[in-house]
Amino acid sequence: MQMLPQFPLQLVVYPGEYLNLHVFEMRYRQLINEIEVSGNTFGIPAFIKNKVMDFGTEMELVEISKKHDDGKMDIKTKGVGVFKIREFFPKAKNKLYAVAEIEKLKFQTSGDDFVAAEILDKAEELYGMLKINKPLPENASDLKVYAIAKNIGLSLNQEYKLLTISSEEARQKFILEHLNHIIPTVSHIEEIRRKAKLNGHFKNIIPPKF
């Protein structure tokens, strides 16, 4: 167990993900200024439905890109691990920001290459349908679900659910089920759009023979 400064946000960050933030609240400016000096990490727990959730991501400060004259700042951060909150304190002693007693979680990072290949195929299909210009690995063995999770239409609750899953194989199953569900939906929407564009045009339709 350890104490970790907290920066709750209405989003989910994954290990390995880079997150750029504009820090304007006094409490978080204090937090980041201290992190800059100490080199310590801080936590971003998901804040969903007006509640700080139990799971969050440990973050490292990559750099302070800009300090504004009024004390606000633009920072670059990176997710380095997942933790579970054991007890949350809205304000640390003699500080403006929150702190939590946390447990760092060990997550399995190796999955099933056959499932990864299926996910990769479906991700490529979805990216093509939605015209998503994001790189995908050439080899399925290099695919980690965290790397594509933000690009496949997960809701905030689904993103949080994924964060709580410790096994890569279980994460693969979760993502594959989502892709199998969303691709037909997107395909149907694209067909509606295609038909809407043709509405009003002269149509060369061959009538059926009876």
CATH of domain 113-198: 1.20.58
- What is the CA angle 96-102-104, rounded to 5? 135
The pLDDT assigned to 35 comes to 96
User: How is the chain split into domains, by residue range?
Assistant: 2-105, 113-198
How far apart are alpha carbons 60 and 210 in whole angstroms? 70
pLDDT in tens, 101-150: 999 998 888 899 999 999 999 999 999 888 888 889 988 888 989 999 99
What single letter denotes the amino acid at residue 86?
R
Alpha carbon 5 to its chain's center: 20
CA distances from 15 to 40, 91, 109, 146, 200 (A): 16, 26, 11, 7, 50
Confidence of residue 203 (pLDDT cuts 50, 70, 90): very low
The pLDDT assigned to 131 comes to 86
Q: Given the structure tokens 């997942």, which residue do they identify?
A: 82
The pLDDT assigned to 202 comes to 45
CATH topology of domain 2-105: 2.30.130
Taking 90 as the threshold, does the pLDDT of residue 37 lie above it?
yes
pLDDT in tens, 150-193: 999 999 999 999 999 999 999 999 999 999 999 998 876 666 56
Confidence of residue 11 (pLDDT cuts 50, 70, 90): very high
* pLDDT mean over 9-32: 95
